[in-house]
Structure 1
Amino acid sequence: MNLTQYVDQLRQELAVAAEAGGDEARALAERLTAPLESAARLTLLNALSAAADEITIDLAPGSVDLRLRGLDPEFVVTPPPAAEAFDAQAEYAALMSAQSTPPPPPPAPEAPDDGGTARINLRLPANVKARVEEAANRDGLSVNAWLVRAVSGALDRPGGGPAATASREATRVGNGFTGWVR
């Protein structure tokens, strides 16, 4: 995305506004436009970053990243995974099977090795939080117990540790930088 056209438009609008103030205002506007260009670009980048953040919240689990290449920002959109097609017969068979046999009790979360607990704050998009609450209720667990079980299960899977995640991330990203521009 080329920001030059927007900065040039701002420069023209400032010149038009300065025309109403006479020669002194016009001269002042001409002296201010060069230093204001970098401030205008930074302000536009902040607005684009905020917009990408808001879109990411609505698009979760997909995301929108804003990357800066030279002077020009670009958006990188990662769409959410496609929903699986609805199979009415499979859904009916699963429902009938679930009604005939009671579900097994969910496994209790493992107690930490040292007996202590750690507190973290987790921010989830509202739609993900609602799904977590539904899943916890369905399993007869508190949200905290459900999250502990989910995280423990993810870490216990082969390749679920931090080292494996880091190597996959490095392979996927390459030599680029990821994150937000503010």
Structure 2
Amino acid sequence: MARLPTPIVVVSRCLGFDHCRYDGDIVRADVVSRIAGHVRAIPVCPELEIGLGVPRPVIRLVHEAAGSRLVQPETGRDLTDEMSAFATRFLEWIGEKGVDGFILKSRSPSCGNGDSRVFDAGGDELAESMDGLFARAARARFPDAAMEDESSLTDPVARHEFVTALYENAARRLGRKLPREWRLPPDLS
């Protein structure tokens, strides 16, 4: 059988790579570890990259008339421009290397994949949820890249579709097609 291409995947650094969550914790996600064994993982923590420490005060997505902002309520600091600038630089850099997908931290105001909590200016949680600021920029820059979070990848169907998309994207990036006899690696089914 032909050798499979190695997908390039950006992964939230807190998902098994580093104790960098806001509370200093690390998320042990077995499914992310298994996938990382088959790809070239590029870990990133957008919140650390914009200079926030560990531990750090909570940050939130705040919905305003002009759009959503990334705010640190405890300090009143608006981090929107810093996060947007980092996302632009990082995604431009990764675009030069090629990227096939993203595994991002669920519910994160920077990395959440459609499930980030949103608050109003008064601090009340809204019924809606959305992509985190970094995830939104990644989706806009790489609309064909596979994108999931650690929670959704525990579902076998979602995991199968995600990993298949990673390998298809990697093959396309290299100007190839997956062999017809290609099968999902057994430890990912």
Which structure's residues are more often strand, by fraction? 2
Larger Rg belongs to: 1
Give the number of the structure with larger relative contact order, counting CA–CA contacts within 8 Å between residues 6 or more apart: 2
> Per the shorter chain, which TM-score range?
under 0.3
Higher helix share: 1
